[in-house]
C-alpha cells in the first residue's frame, strides 16, 4: 500500500489551553489530553516534523487578571506559567504514547524544560522528536498566537495549524451570531481589515510579511489535524 504523502514536512500546531479542558470547568482533563495525543501521533506516524505551541487559558488567562485589576505584566506572567504546566501534562501524555518529546520553555525552568536554542530545536525535529513550546516568547504583552508565528518562522515551519472550538474563520462569532458566514479561505489583510478575532494582529502581520499560511480548524472533530496536514479542505486557510 503506497505511503500517504503529507502536504507539509514541518508544522507548528497551536493548541489553546482550553483544548485540554474536556468537560471540566477548570484544569486539565487527562482523557481529553490523551485523545488529542492520539491524533498528533497519527501525523507523527506520517513522518511529519511537529512543534506544538501550548496556551494556558484552562488555568489562567492574563487578560482576565488585568480585567480584575492586576498589573498587566504580573497577570501575563501568571498566564505564561500556566502554559508550562500544560506543557508538562502534554509531554507526559505524548511520551506515554511512545513519542520522544522535548519541552522548550521561553522562561527558564531547568527542572522541567529546555531553553529555546534554535539549532537545537531544529535538530530535535529532524530526529522526529515532537517539540512543545511553552511560556510564549517569555515576555508579557505578547500572546501565544504571536509566539506561534515567531517560533514557526524561526524553525522553518511550512504552516501554522491553529486548533480551535469552531470550524474556521467566520464573519462573526458563530457561537453567538447564527447568521455568521464562514470563509473557506481569506487573505491576511482581510482578516485585519474586518477585525476578525481569530488571531491577534501582530501574529497575522508576521505571517503575512513572511508568506506563512495559517489553517484554522475545529479540534473537536476527529481527524481534522490529519486532514489539515494532508492538505485536504478543512476549516479556513489564511494566506
**Average pLDDT of the residues in 137-161:** 97
**DSSP bridge partners of 10:** 49
Select from 136, 130, 163, 138 the least CA-distant residue to 51: 130
In the predicted model, what is the mean pLDDT of residues 81-98?
98
pLDDT, mean of residues 198-222: 96
What is the arithmetic mean of pLDDT over 36-63? 96
Say how far apart CA 71 and CA 168 lie, in whole Å. Answer: 33
C-alpha to C-alpha distance for 98 and 92, rounded to whole angstroms: 10
pTM of the prediction?
0.95
Residue 1's pLDDT band, with cuts at 50, 70 and 90, is very low
Confidence of residue 3 (pLDDT cuts 50, 70, 90): low
The domain tally of the chain equals 1
Per-residue DSSP letter, 22: T
Judge whether 5 lies within some domain: no
User: Which residues are 162's β-sheet partners?
Assistant: 14, 216
Whether 209 is covered by a domain: the verdict is yes
Whether 19 is covered by a domain: the verdict is yes
Q: Which domain holds residue 224?
A: 10-238
Rounded average pLDDT over 3-30: 94
Separation of alpha carbons 173 and 167, rounded Å? 11
**Given this model, what pLDDT does residue 104 score?**
98
Whether residue 103 lies inside any domain: the answer is yes
Residue whose C-alpha cell reads 512543534 in the numeric block: 51
Please report, for residues 108, 111, 182, the alpha-carbon distance to residue 200 in angstroms, rounded to integers and kept in the order given: 26, 32, 19
Q: Does 2 reside within a domain?
A: no
Residue 113 is assigned to a structural domain of this protein: yes
Q: How confident is the model at residue 2 (pLDDT cuts 50, 70, 90)?
A: low
State the CATH number of the domain containing residue 126. Answer: 3.40.1160.10
Average pLDDT on 85-95 reads: 98
4 assigned to some structural domain: no
Distances (CA, A) of 72 to 57, 62, 78, 157: 16, 7, 10, 31
Within-domain flag for 1: no
Query: What would the pLDDT profile of 172-190 be if each residue is shown by its tens digit?
Result: 888 788 899 999 999 999 9
Other C-beta atoms within 10 Å of 57: how many?
20
Amino acid at each position: 500500500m503506497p505511503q500517504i504523502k503529507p502536504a507539509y514536512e514541518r508544522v507548528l500546531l497551536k493548541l489553546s489551553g482550553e483544548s485540554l479542558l474536556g468537560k471540566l470547568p477548570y484544569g486539565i482533563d487527562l482523557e481529553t489530553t490523551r485523545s488529542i495525543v492520539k491524533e498528533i501521533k497519527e501525523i507523527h506516524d506520517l513522518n511529519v516534523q511537529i512543534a506544538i505551541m501550548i496556551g494556558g487559558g484552562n488555568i489562567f488567562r492574563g487578560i482576565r487578571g488585568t480585567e480584575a485589576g492586576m498589573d498587566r505584566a504580573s497577570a501575563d506572567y501568571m498566564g505564561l506559567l500556566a502554559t508550562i504546566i500544560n506543557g508538562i501534562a502534554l509531554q507526559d501524555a505524548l511520551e506515554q504514547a511512545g513519542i520522544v518529546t522535548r519541552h522548550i520553555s521561553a522562561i527558564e525552568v531547568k527542572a522541567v524544560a529546555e531553553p529555546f536554542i534554535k539549532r537545537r530545536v531544529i535538530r530535535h525535529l529532524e530526529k522526529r522528536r515532537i517539540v512543545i513550546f511553552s511560556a510564549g516568547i517569555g515576555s508579557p504583552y505578547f500572546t501565544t498566537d504571536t509566539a506561534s508565528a515567531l517560533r514557526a518562522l524561526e524553525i522553518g515551519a511550512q504552516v501554522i495549524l491553529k486548533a480551535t472550538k469552531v470550524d474556521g474563520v467566520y464573519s462573526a462569532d458563530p457561537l453567538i451570531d447564527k447568521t455568521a458566514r464562514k470563509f473557506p479561505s481569506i487573505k491576511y489583510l482581510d482578516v485585519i481589515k474586518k477585525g476578525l478575532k481569530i488571531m491577534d494582529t501582530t501574529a497575522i502581520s508576521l505571517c503575512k510579511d513572511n508568506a506563512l499560511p495559517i489553517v484554522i480548524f475545529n479540534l473537536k472533530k476527529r481527524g481534522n489535524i490529519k486532514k489539515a496536514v494532508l492538505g485536504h479542505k478543512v476549516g479556513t486557510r489564511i494566506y
